[in-house]
């Protein structure tokens, strides 16, 4: 396949990135972690800006860009958020069976006070008026678009060596009250952001046995729900190494080969 040069990057005639750039994208995806423990070091403003630029370039329905980003550094506000988390966490613990409750209560599920920055990503459901292209048949597409922004933010942060932890055990009404979010705006994600001592080789909940990663082949259907996909996608296992063999410590040049 022929490649053309665009600046310092080699781009194929079909628009594919160079091998090194493809490796970097997949490495960010596979090495992303939900972080709960943070170092106190402040993040440089330029790094935060780059992460937010990535978030702002997420796909959005009708190009409505429904997101806002509330940057929270105030200790007073974060202490109120932490108390809201503690209340919701206590309620959540009671919902799990006794045999799971002790493991749940041992998990560290937030870094609200120890991370140098918290970010609340919101969705303005009134942005661009009552009728938005792409939402007329599926009204929640603005919320899904905002989640795409969260994912962009998360992957860009990983590329920058910045950890992100999504804290979902907080009631929406508490976030609205503490952060002054108006009724037509939905707090979608409350994120803890900062440098971390390390990025774990596998997700923490997987390591601790909370749940295992589901085999991808079980999740791929053909044409209709529940129909096994006996096609090259599902049959590619004999041509690739298992995801469990992948280690983020391996040379990145091995990465794309492992995913083919």
Say what the pLDDT of residue 230 is.
79
Q: What is the pLDDT of residue 229?
A: 83
CB-hemisphere CA count at 13 Å for 206? 10
Spatial contact of 68 and 122, defined as CB atoms under 8 Å apart: yes
Report phi then psi at 29, rounded to 5: -65, -50
- φ/ψ of residue 6, rounded to 5: -125, 100
Whether the predicted pLDDT of 178 surpasses 80: yes
Q: Domain map of the chain by residue range?
A: 34-213, 216-244
Superfamily of domain 34-213 in the CATH hierarchy: NADH Oxidase (3.40.109.10)
Q: Where are the alpha helices (DSSP H) in the chain?
A: 19-31, 45-56, 75-95, 98-106, 141-159, 172-179, 204-207, 255-259
Q: What's the pLDDT score for residue 125?
A: 96
Query: What's the pTM?
Result: 0.87
185-244 pLDDT per residue, tens: 999 999 999 999 999 999 999 999 999 999 999 999 999 999 988 766 655 554 444 444
CA distance 103 to 5: 53
């Amino acid at each position: 396949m022929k490649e053309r040069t665009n600046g310092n990057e080699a781009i194929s005639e079909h628009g594919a990135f160079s091998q090194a750039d493809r490796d970097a994208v997949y490495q960010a995806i596979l090495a992303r972690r939900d972080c709960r423990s943070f170092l106190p070091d402040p993040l440089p403003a330029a790094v935060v800006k780059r992460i937010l630029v990535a978030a702002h370039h997420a796909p959005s329905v009708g190009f409505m860009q429904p997101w806002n980003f509330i940057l929270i550094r105030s200790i007073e506000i974060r202490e109120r958020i932490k108390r809201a988390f503690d209340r919701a966490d206590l309620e959540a613990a009671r919902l799990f069976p006794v045999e799971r409750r002790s493991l749940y209560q041992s998990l560290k599920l937030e870094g609200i006070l120890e991370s140098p920055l918290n970010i609340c990503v919101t969705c303005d459901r009134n942005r661009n008026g009552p009728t938005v292209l792409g939402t007329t048949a599926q009204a929640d597409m603005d919320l899904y678009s905002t989640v795409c922004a969260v994912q962009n933010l998360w992957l860009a942060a990983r590329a920058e060596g910045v950890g992100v932890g999504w804290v979902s055990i907080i009631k929406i009404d508490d976030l609205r009250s503490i952060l002054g979010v108006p009724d037509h705006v939905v707090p979608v994600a409350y994120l803890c952001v900062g440098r971390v001592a390390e990025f774990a080789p596998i997700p923490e909940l997987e390591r601790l046995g909370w749940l295992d990663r589901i085999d991808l082949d079980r999740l791929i259907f053909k044409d209709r729900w529940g129909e096994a996909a006996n096609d090259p996608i599902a049959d590619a296992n004999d041509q690739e190494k298992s995801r469990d063999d992948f280690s983020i410590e391996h040379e990145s040049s091995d990465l794309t080969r492992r995913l083919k």
